[in-house]
Structure 1
């Protein structure tokens, strides 16, 4: 059952009455990797980096500990095989319609991003289009990275419908969900490259300089995505968890002060 808190409900009702144009940002939280604090920090960063009325809707299987100013909704239903039940394939459920009370252009943010600049331009850029970060490991390949994207609710519902009807065929043909989405969207627009960067693939100094130089934050950056490891809380203190000792020879990050400044 959805949990919708009073203050957020009043804000949404005012927007529907035309008192102002509400910007909607959504995130998803499932499983145990990211605690409620990640959602709360995301909301805090959103508030500091928007000048217009903005709400955050969190789709989750556990709303405990999430700020009362965040609108909490249950995870949308989707036909997921057990082996991918808690993987990013679950994000495909965002493409169904109707979806809660969402309408128009909606911005999606992963929980493990750090917001370092204004989010308002993400709502002004090519309105009505599907906009996404170009995947940093596949430049020029027409693949979006769904750490941060904006879609128009009710468009491209075939992304959800095809997967929901036959997930096994999709899983055989595509390695990850963002490749599948990129293949089905005819007109995909990439954000300006300086807006959205990858901590690991864009900013990290190349080996061996990552042992000597801290990760910089270029001017103009608005969102930093933390794909894989390290997570923001780990990179902040200079920790990069590794699964085997030999990876310590090249997987290293120095403490990153700008994360402390922005990720709060």
Structure 2
């Protein structure tokens, strides 16, 4: 192939990927790309029928002054990323922090080790290649499979490595009040903490806590399932796909959550002087993303955890207390293992 032909094909390929990523797909995240209608060859691969769930009654129950219908809490577990004990801990923490009736669902390819109180649901096979199952959280998108979860029931997705500390009811009240797709705003690096939130760059979705009505977001499944390879090329991670494709996206209130990595740890060498790990007592949920995970800071002993620039030694008392409270089987002699 002549160089000119190869260059032309390369330009066309780049144009197609750009078109896929910026096609008019429902709005995009606040501060992200808007609705940009672009052609994809002779057709738009995202011109799929808009799927809508049943009409949702979002009226407040007069006798209680709040919403009190059944809701769904869902998590996912695939391959060997997390032991079953993580599901148990999350289930128990949710039960302690959610007053209203709820189902706790684990969508998984491995139901081994799931305890009573966890509704195990087989993870639909979306045909995701193994390398993409291990890179990011693409199998998480299976929760949007039509019919997997009740279309008209408010649903809260939680990553297995979050710490639920208080009041999950507020998350559901927000979903019921506005509909749409609710997610964490991806945190900015520490240096941006000196700037007001409104002036910080919006980096799109952080996918640890999602809120939605499954019927309203069903097209997420179709847009991914029908164009998987293009999605893998266009979006580095599943949360980048969600940032660009979610219907009526909204941020959770910033004060409701904290990042263990960004809000609780100091950089080296400051962490050699300020050794105590900050506890965000007002956060409803603390998110562990990346390294370390909660289980890494639970065992007794003198050991190092974390990354090259953000690390600590030994157990973090408030994380250990949380884990032991919600996992009655834990012993330091036999830490959690995969089922």
- Name 1:17's counterpart in structure 2: none
Unaligned runs of 5+ in 2: 1-67, 190-199, 327-339
Q: How many residues align?
A: 239
Higher RCO, 1 vs 2 (CA within 8 Å, ≥6 residues apart): 2
SS at match of 1:48: helix
What is the rounded CA distance, in whole Å, between the counterparts of 1:80 and 1:228 in structure 2?
22
The answer on 1:155 being equivalent to 2:216 is yes
How far apart are 1:100 and its partner, in Å?
4.3
How far apart are 1:126 and its partner, in Å?
4.5
Q: Do 1:108 and 1:149's aligned partners in 2 also have CA atoms closer than 8 Å?
A: yes
- Name 2:332's counterpart in structure 1: none
Runs of at least 4 residues off by over 6 Å = none
Alignment partner of 2:91 out of 25, 28, 43:
43
What is the rounded CA distance, in whole Å, between the counterparts of 2:101 and 2:247 in structure 1?
31
How far apart are 1:208 and its partner, in Å?
2.0
What is the rounded CA distance, in whole Å, between the counterparts of 2:75 and 2:152 in structure 1?
15
Alignment partner of 1:261 out of 294, 312, 321:
321
The answer on 1:146 being equivalent to 2:207 is yes
Q: Deviations over 1:72-103 (max 9, x none)?
A: 11012313133213440111121221214454
How far apart are 1:25 and its partner, in Å?
0.2
| Superposition TM-score, scaled by structure 1 size | 0.83
How far apart are 1:241 and its partner, in Å?
5.7
| Superposition TM-score, scaled by structure 2 size | 0.66
SS at match of 1:230: coil
The answer on 1:228 being equivalent to 2:279 is no
Q: Do 2:76 and 2:106's aligned partners in 1 also have CA atoms closer than 8 Å?
A: yes
The answer on 1:240 being equivalent to 2:305 is yes
Q: Do 2:161 and 2:288's aligned partners in 1 also have CA atoms closer than 8 Å?
A: yes
What is the rounded CA distance, in whole Å, between the counterparts of 1:180 and 1:51 in structure 2?
33
SS at match of 2:94: helix
Query: Taking structure 1 as reference, are residues 118 and 239 closer, same or farther at Cα in structure 2, changes over 3 Å only?
Result: farther
Instruction: Give the 5 Å matches for 1:31-70.
Output: 31-70=79-118
- Name 1:167's counterpart in structure 2: 228
What is the rounded CA distance, in whole Å, between the counterparts of 2:72 and 2:89 in structure 1?
17
Unaligned runs of 5+ in 1: 1-19
Q: Do 1:230 and 1:240's aligned partners in 2 also have CA atoms closer than 8 Å?
A: yes
State the Cα RMSD in Å: 2.0
Instruction: Give the 5 Å matches for 1:18-33.
Output: 21-33=69-81
Q: Do 2:72 and 2:156's aligned partners in 1 also have CA atoms closer than 8 Å?
A: yes
The answer on 1:194 being equivalent to 2:255 is yes
What is the rounded CA distance, in whole Å, between the counterparts of 1:64 and 1:39 in structure 2?
11
What is the rounded CA distance, in whole Å, between the counterparts of 1:124 and 1:81 in structure 2?
37
Q: Do 1:104 and 1:153's aligned partners in 2 also have CA atoms closer than 8 Å?
A: yes
- Name 2:23's counterpart in structure 1: none
Query: Taking structure 1 as reference, are residues 186 and 62 closer, same or farther at Cα in structure 2, changes over 3 Å only?
Result: closer
